[in-house]
Structure 1
Amino acid sequence: MNKIDGHIDLYLLGKDYLAYEFLGSKLNKDKDGRIISTTFTVYAPNAKEVRLLSSFNNYEGWKHVLTKVHPQGFFSITIPENLEWATYRYELHLNSGEIIYKSDPFAYYAEERPNNASKVYDIDGYTWHDQKWFETKKKVYQEPFLIYELHLGSWKKKDGNFIRYNEIVDDLINYVKENGFTHIELMPIYEHPLDDSWGYQGTGFFAATSRYGTPKDLMYFIDRCHEAGIGVIIDWVLGHINKDWFGLSKFDGTYLYEFEDDLRRENVVWGTSNIDFDKGISRSFMQSALNFWVDYFHVDGFRIDAVSNLIYHLGNRDMGENTGALSFLRQVSNHLFSKDDRIIFSAEDSTDYARVTWPTDIGGVGFNYKWNMGFMNDTLKYFKEDPIYRKYHHDKITFGLVYTYNEQFILPFSHDEVVHLKGSLLNKMPGTYEQKFQNYRLLLTLWMTHPGKKLLFMGQEFAQYDEWNFKQELDWGLLNYPIHDSANRYFKDLAKIYRTNDALYKYDHQPKGFVWLASDHVDSSVFAYMRQSDNETLVIVLNMTPNYYESYEIPVPFEGQYEEILNSDKDIYAGYGQYNGLPLKAINEPRGHFNYHLKIKLGSLTGLILRLKK
């Protein structure tokens, strides 16, 4: 058996993770590295004949007919020319007599929309400089993990147009580091035809989108991020595909990768087709794509979109488990973590399916993180309430701690929460203009100090007022206004507190890292809790109403002095200046369930953090 036959067998069985080594367009080189020929290989079992349409043959397919090299439906042709940068697609003559035209599913590059042909591209040869990043990178479970979710095309623009990967990266790195993020998460950057889909309806899973440059421009982008100590996660749609005529859908006139039946295949809301992972070719295709992005682009992980549809058919429990997809997720997890056990494999999952973030060897699905959609929904519902009614919704804040250690969670305030007339984080907040900012700072304090890793969508770090519009860049001019500049200053200071105090992250996934101090102060809508590590104790107090307290009693378990290290009501954050300037001594009188208590000054709609002095 030769190498290609071995690949084909594994591809059909669903075990191949290197399918891009023999499928797609390949530039063949001699021993001196000179390109001497170009090979095109495609899998189309329902095709009677496959022709190559290309810029170099004037798109006359009869000039280059592929040879069927395997009875299962693999076609190939080698042309003794260097065809780098040539555009091409396949002309498939089906057994029915129909002729269809498809771009290459394994192409590394494509024309910029609205054009959609594939392009021959030399994916090899980039020289990486991120060895130190991979030598020193740690598992994030007991490390600060603060993600900046980013739509590359609307973070900044140049004369109203997209900025290339290699041109935007320095500004982005400086900004991300200045704001204290540890990672960026890029909304889908594989090839997709429609800007309005934000990348979630892809057609080229091996091609970095040409909107922002070439694949090597993206390699440079990621390389520079790693040199600056910033991890890069990419958003990925695993379970469904775009239905555009030139894409993967009905690739050879049949539902080659998708479910055969309409009920399980059709996503009516999204207009996409669901992939059938009981098919070996679907498994090999997607596993190869993920492996490719790790090997060729050095990505640090993936956020998998719409995992509820991979757990249940169409995300509907009544339709039963999607057993093929669940099995595939475990297969992918085993493969990725065998490559690098520090990788991020995160699920955007709205179900209560058990053990999503547990390892596969103990019965888990195999992700290592899951978005905490319950926290996000409950918290935002609570903050939308007028403060006088919040006491009736007290459990929206407390309930999350009932299940927070069942999985390894990321707390997301993502793009989904600031589009489609939902308003920005700031604009969700009730009250006067100033109270909106008070509530905004209070929301961020809860989010940053609550157990779980963190994700924030771009623009929310400076309290963008309008919801996100992908057609324009962020409202950077707001930073010229003192109240927005102060909001961003608060975010930066809060992020610094998070990164430099291990009580806020070391035991994110273990109950010993969190203790309720006051969860039953319903009438005052005040919450207090303790975050702790082996060498540090922090007390967080949140006043969810405009009431001001000159002396509010908070139970604490330890005697000693507590120093205020952050207060959202300071005037430098556009607050009213009600803070605790001197350390507070614990009073030896029981309150609640603890033997000591503090008397603190507590401003209206204020969050504060105290540190127990050793």
Structure 2
Amino acid sequence: MSDTLVSFTPETLSDFHNGKMIDAYLYFGSHIHHNETLFAVWVPDVKSVAVVIIDPQELNEERHQMAPLSLDTTIWEVRIPEKLAGFIYEYEIETADGDVIRKTDPFARANEKRPQHRSIVSAKSKHVWSKAALYQKKNIVKNHFEKPMAIYEVHIGTWKRNKEGGFLTYRELAAELIPYVKKQGFTHIELLPITEHPLDESWGYQTTGFFAPTSRYGTADDLKYFIAKCAENSIGLISDWVPGHFCVDTHALASFNGTDLYEEKRPERRSNPDWGTLNFDVQKGEVVSFILSSAHYWFDEYKFDGCRMDALVNLLFIPNRPERPHNEEGAAFLRILTTSLKLHYPEAILIAEDAWHYPKVTGEVEEGGIGFHYKWNFGMVHDAQAYMKTMPSERSEVHRKITFSMVYYHEERYISTFSHDELIPEKGSLLGKMPGTLEEKFHQLRLLLGFWIAHPGKKLLFMGQEFGHFEPWDFRPQLDWHLFDLKVHRQMALFTKELLTFYKKEKAFFELDYELKGFEWLEADNSEQSVISFIRRGHSAEDTCIVVCNFSDLKYEGYQVGLPAAGVYQQIFSTADAAYGGRGNGRETEFAAQEVPWNKQRYSMEIELPAFTMSIWKQKQDGSVEA
């Protein structure tokens, strides 16, 4: 953050009150300038405000009365002639009713480690972004629609612990997580919210500090070190961020001035009973400026490559209404947010959590859309998991669940997400959802992930599923890394690694993800045998791949597959490879296309199709001439 001291002007105050300020963190909060520490806070309709300073060593309190800004009496400020870096502070507010309450700073850039919660005056950052890291960040996000994107979703506190059983710091995470992600073949990391929050079990989604990285894992400079190391290793980094609601804890934003200041003014829309949170009032200019500034802050100060925005259902649909009518106020706010971020950070990737059936979430704002680049595809993963949980003998009855996603797929730009939401104890792990013996479970998990990779759209996988984590994700100390002692889990990790390596190599699976010509069904309706097949295409005809998935527990000999061109076709990937624990034929299997029409194609071949297998075929480029 810049050391330049900024002062309120009539113009900046107008922007703040009208929801147009994007850098409120430069004006509000605590700032050290020369030998002074300045505090500013927005607290309208109160009798008085003071800042209480606590020496972290002696823990004695000093109370400094704040005064209303001469240009704007809703803003209180004070200058203290000391450098107070590292000092703890709170605001003491006397409400209009005469009650005295203490609050953390909404714009604090650091907070105490839980269970404490007070704000901390931040020192100047010592981190220097290298030119190499910033250059690499541009390469990571450049032309991302046509590049492979395999995101590893991580909750820092439960991915892995240190030897003493404590949380890994951001710096330790750089040494442990980044090499692991690179080895496994992922292109991006998405961190569950690291904004400050009081409760570990909330996973970070009940935020109290919208400008403070949680102190659980270290300092702001530690986080910047981790982010820079991701860039140096060509790993994109996506933050999970909550724009619509906040934590009810009384020390934070809730009833900040003794009344509903940040929260929705209408009681029926104010709270979220399921989450235990309060909704922001996105029609109040000052609140909009607060949220806009938080979004800008994480891109400006921490250089994240992208942002996934959580819980959009309460912005795009009216909260607490079971019929889910559209919330045009929330949609208008999101359009302001995405437009602003695209204007100032044109390279940033903006991802929307699933937003049900709201139209044009990834459409351009100028065309009536909400302005995100991508949207999570909960529909596809819900249907695919429901299909896989069905006994193989009964899958013919629910066959449409494995094909239905392509009916609506081209309405948005989707990311296929096996996320943390799918793997909680009530739902189970991916491996645990599969029916049959343990061996059959692994066959089917490989098949599911193969289908996930071959299906159009970018990819996201929650931590642990890459090696077949058997238990669902819960707030436990760490993943069951001891499973690597077992061959089946090592084979599963190898499979995921080679699947992602294959995905990044074959352009047909990412170049035309969002264009109609990138996907063509060969066979979608073979419910009796539980088989589907389709074509994936890239820009070049030579990149075309044929995908065949057998979701049955039966092996099919001489299974006929349509082909778009003459030539020799080679199996280039199979989930049944013996190296992964499968029982199928090798990758070097080849068949010459026969001029026998099938699946509306002029040519076809007959292949062996093992049970619970995805196989991918590609025309050999050996001089054969396409018909």
TM-score, length basis structure 2 = 0.95
Paired residues of 1:276 and 1:324 also in contact (CA < 8 A): no
**Percent identical residues:** 40
Q: Is the 8 A contact 2:309 2:351 kept in 1?
A: yes
Alignment match of 1:157 (pick from 158, 161, 166): 161
Structure 1 pair 143–44 and aligned structure 2 pair: CA distance change class (3 A): same
Question: Which residue of structure 2 aligns with residue 353 of structure 1?
Answer: 358
The residue that corresponds to 2:139 in the other structure is 136
In the TM superposition, 1:502-517 aligns within 5 A as 502-517=507-522
How far off is 1:367 after superposition? 0.8
CA drift of 1:166 comes to 0.9
Asked if the contact 1:563/1:611 (under 8 Å) is kept, the reply is yes
Equivalent position of 1:200 in the other structure = 205
Q: 2:398 aligned to 393, 397, 405, which one?
A: 393
1:581 offset after TM fit, Å?
3.3
1:548 maps to 555
Q: Secondary structure in 1 aligned to 2:314?
A: helix
Return the alpha-carbon distance in structure 2 between the equivalents of residues 235 and 19 of structure 1.
21
Q: Which moved more, 1:2-11 or 1:429-438?
A: 2-11
1:424 deviation in Å?
Answer: 0.6
Give the structure 2 partner of residue 97 of structure 1.
98
Does residue 610 of structure 2 align to residue 603 of structure 1?
A: yes
Which amino acid in structure 2 is aligned with residue 118 of structure 1?
Answer: S
Tell me if structure 1 keeps the 8 A contact 2:424–2:473.
Answer: yes
Q: Relative to 1, partners in 2 of residues 1:293 and 1:211: Cα closer, same or farther, differing over 3 Å?
A: same
Q: Deviations over 1:519-550 (max 9, x none)?
A: 12111111111101122111111110111123
Structure 1 length-normalised TM: 0.97
Distance apart, 1:341 and its partner CA = 2.5
Comparing 259-268 with 189-198, which one deviates more in the overlay? 259-268
Q: Does 2:83 align with 1:67?
A: no
Amino acid at match of 1:142: E
CA distance in 2 between counterparts of 1:478 and 1:194 reads 29
> 1:559 and 2:558 equivalent?
no
1:383-429 CA-partner distances (Å, limit 9, x unpaired): 00000110111111111101111000000000011113311100000
C-alpha distance in structure 2 between counterparts of 1:473 and 1:65, whole Å? 46
What's 1:572 paired with? 579
| Contact persistence 2:577–2:584 (CA under 8 A) | yes
| Aligned residue identity for 1:120 | V
Q: Which residue of 1 aligns with 2:151?
A: 147
Please list every run of at least 4 consecutive aligned residues from structure 1 whose deviation after the TM superposition is greater than 6 angstroms.
Answer: none
Q: Give the SS at the match of 2:144.
A: coil
- 203-212 or 477-486, larger mean C-alpha shift: 477-486
How far apart are 1:350 and its partner, in Å? 3.7
Structure 1 residue corresponding to 2:473, chosen from 468, 471, 495 = 468
In 2, the alpha carbon distance for the partners of 1:150 and 1:315 equals 30
- Distance in 2 (CA, whole Å) between partners of 1:3 and 1:97 is 29
Letter of the aligned partner of 1:299 in structure 2? Answer: F
Report how far residue 107 of structure 1 moved.
0.4
Measure the CA separation in 2 of the matches of 1:340 and 1:11: 20
Letter in 2 for 1:49: S
Secondary structure at the aligned position of 1:109 is classed as: coil
Question: Residue 189 of structure 1 aligns with which residue?
Answer: 194
Pairwise CA distance, 1:593: 1.1
Q: Match of 1:405, SS?
A: helix
- Which runs of 5 or more residues in structure 2 are unaligned? 1-5, 622-627
Q: Is the 8 A contact 2:8 2:27 kept in 1?
A: no
The one-character-per-residue Cα deviations of 1:102-127 (angstroms, maximum 9, x if unpaired) are 00010000000000000001254420
Larger mean Cα displacement after TM superposition, 472-481 or 191-200: 472-481
Shift of 1:472: 1.4
Mapped partners of 1:254, 1:542: distance in 2: 58
2:523 partner SS: strand
* Paired letter, 2:181: V
Q: Quote the Cα distance in structure 1 between the aligned partners of 2:325 and 2:520.
A: 38
Asked whether the equivalents of residues 38 and 79 of structure 1 are also in contact (C-alpha less than 8 Å), the reply is yes
Residue in structure 2 matching 1:425, options 430, 446, 453: 430
Distance in 2 of aligned mates of 1:320 and 1:58: 51
Q: Give the counterpart of 2:289 among 260, 278, 284.
A: 284
Matched residue of 2:335: which SS?
helix
Return 5+ residue gaps in structure 1 as ranges.
Answer: 30-35
Deviations 1:237-281 (A, max 9, x none): 111110101111111111111111210101111111111111101
Residue 37, structure 1, aligned to residue 36, structure 2: yes
Match of 1:447 in 2: 452
Following superposition of structure 1 onto structure 2, how do residues 174-323 of structure 1 map, counting pairs within 5 Å? 174-314=179-319, 316=321, 318=323, 320-323=325-328
Q: 1:123 to 1:243 in 2, by over 3 A?
A: farther
1:481/1:362 CA distance change after superposition, 3 Å: same
> What letter is aligned with 1:55?
I
Contact 1:418/1:467 (<8 A) preserved: yes
Is 1:118 the counterpart of 2:119 in the alignment? Answer: yes
In the TM superposition, 1:511-526 aligns within 5 A as 511-526=516-531
- Following superposition, the deviation at residue 579 of structure 1 comes to 4.1
Which secondary structure does the structure 2 equivalent of 1:39 belong to?
strand
Match of 1:343 in 2: 348
Letter in 2 for 1:65: Q
Structural RMSD (CA): 1.5
Q: What is the CA distance between 1:470 and its match in structure 2? A: 2.3
Contact 1:347–1:371 under 8 Å retained in 2: yes
The alpha-carbon distance between structure 1 residues 456 and 123, as it changes in their structure 2 partners (threshold 3 A), is farther
How far is the alpha carbon of 1:569 from its aligned partner?
1.1
Structure 2 CA distance for partners of 1:317 and 1:357, relative to 1, 3 Å = farther
Structure 2 partner of 1:414: 419
What's the CA shift for 1:72?
A: 3.9
Q: Structure 1 residue 342: deviation in Å?
A: 2.5
Q: For residues 144-172 of structure 1, what are the alpha-carbon distances to aligned partners after superposition, in whole Å with 9 as ceiling and x for unaligned? A: 01100000111110121101101221221
Structure-1 separation of matches of 2:222 and 2:557? 57
State whether structure 2 residue 589 is matched by structure 1 residue 591: no
Check the 8 A contact 1:580/1:601 in 2, yes or no. Answer: no
Distance 1:8 1:476 in 2: 53
Q: 1:149 to 1:127 in 2, by over 3 A?
A: same
- 1:484 — aligned with what? 489
Deviation of 1:580 (Å): 5.7
1:317: Cα distance to partner?
6.8
CA contact (8 A) 1:579 1:602 kept: no
